[in-house]
Amino acid sequence: MPHVIEPATSGRAKCRGCDGKIEKGELRFGERQPNAFGEGEMTLWFHLQCGAYKRPEPFLEALGDASDVPGVETLRAAAEFGLAHRRLPRINGADRAPTGRARCRRCLELIEKDSWRVALVFFEEYRFQPSGFVHAGCARDYFGTVDIVDRVRHFKPKLTCADLKELRGALNPTAGSRDRDLRAL
């Protein structure tokens, strides 16, 4: 069966993208996958925005040329941006490193305690597995863009405006601080 966008028939399904509840009647995106446990197919359900961010390819297939989905142009743009920058769908939020023990997947250096890092997940075996972090300052090299704050905020809605402002600063290190970082290596 093809991927689908349809109203949720119950309020029981959880979104694979954010683990949040999908309300009954809310439009949801269903990605069809071969059944991991037997014959036939299974459907992975997502909020529309979560599907556009994290599963852009099947999401766009499901969307087709639909024009009656609320926010369709924004959703389409988010998914297309994720196809153009293939690592963007890995974004699962951002935070200040609670310890100094994690390594950045981009530069392989330790991420200093309390500095901003972007959290990554990889889609494996029908679910998203936590897959490490990159320095906010390495985001441009890793993702090919720093236009990621909308995604970060979507998957980490508890971040405040002040947090997001700090994050923007960390994503865009000034030339001066970047030179200093390079000299420190």
Report the interface residues with Zn ion, using CB under 5 A.
15, 17-18, 20, 47, 50, 104, 106-107, 135, 138
Encode 22-46 in three state secondary structure: CCCCCEEEEEEEECCCCCCEEEEEE
CB of 127 to Zn ion, least distance (A): 13
* Identity of the residue, 7 or 20, whose beta carbon is nearer to Zn ion in the bound complex: 20
- CA 27, CA 5: separation in Å to the nearest integer? 7
Nearer to Zn ion, 81 or 128 (CB): 128
Q: In 3D, which of 184, 172, 99, 169 has the Cα closest to residue 133?
A: 99
- Cβ of residue 28: shortest distance to Zn ion, in angstroms? 9
Q: Helix, strand or coil for residue 102?
A: coil
Q: Residue 116: in which H helix or E strand, if any?
A: strand 116-124
- Residue 17 or 58 having the CB closest to Zn ion: 17
* Min separation Cβ 162 and Zn ion, Å: 23
Q: Quick one: tokens of 100?
A: 């100094």
Could you tell me the smallest distance in angstroms from the CB atom of residue 38 to Zn ion? 26
Q: Which is nearer to Zn ion, 10 or 37 (CB)?
A: 10
What are the start-end ranges of the H helices in the chain? 48-54, 56-63, 72-84, 139-143, 149-155, 161-171, 175-184
Side-chain half-sphere exposure of 63, counting CA atoms within 13 A: 23
Q: How far is the CB of 135 from Zn ion (least distance, A)?
A: 3
Nearer to Zn ion by Cβ, of 3 and 47: the residue is 47
